[in-house]
Amino acid sequence: MKTRLTDDPAEAAALIRRGKLVAFPTETVYGLGADAWDVKAVAALFNAKGRPRDNPLIVHIAALRQLDAVAVCISEWARALMEHFFPGSLTVVVRRRAPLPTIVTAGLDTVAVRMPSLAVTRAFLRACACPVAAPSANRSGRPSATTWQAVQNDLGGRIDAILRGEPCAKGIESTVVDCSAGMPRLLRAGATSIEALRMVVPGLRTAATAHDVAAAGDTAARSPGMRHRHYAPDARVVLVNDPSEVEPHGDHAYIGLSKPAEPADFGQCYVAGSAQDYARVLFDFFRRCESAGIRTIYCQVITERGIGRAVMDRLRRAATRA
Ligand code: TXA
Ligand code: MG
């Protein structure tokens, strides 16, 4: 299959309406979209990614009026979160409305809904005029794609088209919050911080650490994606508190907030200006290191505050060889 490249959201949307698979940019990471009503297209999407069928997809919408077609019994908490954070980098899990194909939600009675904020994404979703089921546009288990070139590297030849956009501004996936029963609960740390969410839902429940999230059977059942290995480059990922812990051996790289004493020793080195900057470049850095044949990527641990929590979640997962 030849993967078409386009800059035109209307052309990309026309392909979605014809049952095709189209990757598209968002402010978090690139998504791989299919018409959520089209069971055949969604099945092809799982195959193109190599994604296990038990891992449900996020349904992307352009406007809140599309919500009632896919969801029922939307709680007050869910409404409040949507009011504050849609459009943006928050995904809200609510109860699924029956006509939505079960393949989208991996058989769960809930559905994850997101309304991205990037202008080109909104134009694309509006033109699709259907809810768009979309996981991140990477081969399953790989780091999410934050540039259209990364999408092409992972999925070129396996999908119909890529809507090209700028590199993703946030670079890390949306925060996923379960609002399907009782007090909202964090399922995946992401680009919207917990501190921001707690301004709206002070009682928001969280698991203590990313490791707990991975270990907790209960949470795993609620968010099947968290069971699977994720975000991992081919290279070994090693977490360090300080760049002085890096053991130079030629085919290594470093990313962190602190500057190494002798940056010249580093073939691949990124000193991030802030936690946001760290999040923005992380997955792209992983991919660059792979292309450069780097064997070990040293990543500096950062404070789990704001987006730092999501960065640490991804780093721990990438460092875990499961
Ligand atoms: O930023 C993002 O969220 C990107 C862009 C494209 O929107 N999407 C993304 O999708 O990261 P994906 O499929 O890579 O991750 C979606 C996560 C998975 O962990 C999945 O298990 C969880 O959301 N999820 C989806 N539907 C769910 C549901 N009904 N209940 C619980 N978790 C759900
Ligand atoms: Mg993903």
The tens digit of pLDDT for each residue in 90-100 reads 999 999 999 99
In 7-118, which ranges are E strands? Answer: 22-24, 31-35, 58-60, 71-72, 90-96, 110-114
What whole-number percentage of the chain has pLDDT above 70? 90
Please tell me if the CB atom of residue 180 comes closer than 6 angstroms to any atom of ligand 1. no
CATH fold of the domain at 236-318: Rossmann fold (3.40.50)
pLDDT at 267: 66
> Domain map of the chain by residue range?
4-221, 236-318
In the chain, which ranges are E strands? Answer: 4-6, 22-24, 31-35, 58-60, 71-72, 90-96, 110-114, 132-134, 161-163, 175-178, 185-188, 236-240, 252-256, 268-271, 296-300
220: confidence class by pLDDT, cuts 50, 70, 90:
very low
Please tell me if the CB atom of residue 114 comes closer than 6 angstroms to any atom of ligand 1. yes
Does the structure show a pLDDT above 60 at 222? no
By most ligand atoms within 8 Å of CB, the mutation choice from 60, 72, 151, 176 for ligand 1 is 176
Mean of pLDDT over the chain: 92
Structure tokens at 119: 């202008």
By most ligand atoms within 8 Å of CB, the mutation choice from 21, 92, 173, 280 for ligand 1 is 173
| Domain spanning 4-221, CATH architecture | Alpha-Beta Complex (3.90)
Ligand 2 centre from 322 Cα, in Å?
16
Which residue's CA lies nearest to atom 32 of ligand 1? 223
Instruction: Compare 123 and 215 and report the one with higher pLDDT.
Output: 123
Q: Rounded to whole angstroms, how far apart are CA atoms 55 and 49?
A: 12
Does the structure show a pLDDT above 60 at 227? no
Structure tokens at 127: 């033109």
Q: Residues 8-30: what's their mean pLDDT?
A: 98
Please tell me if the CB atom of residue 66 comes closer than 6 angstroms to any atom of ligand 1. no
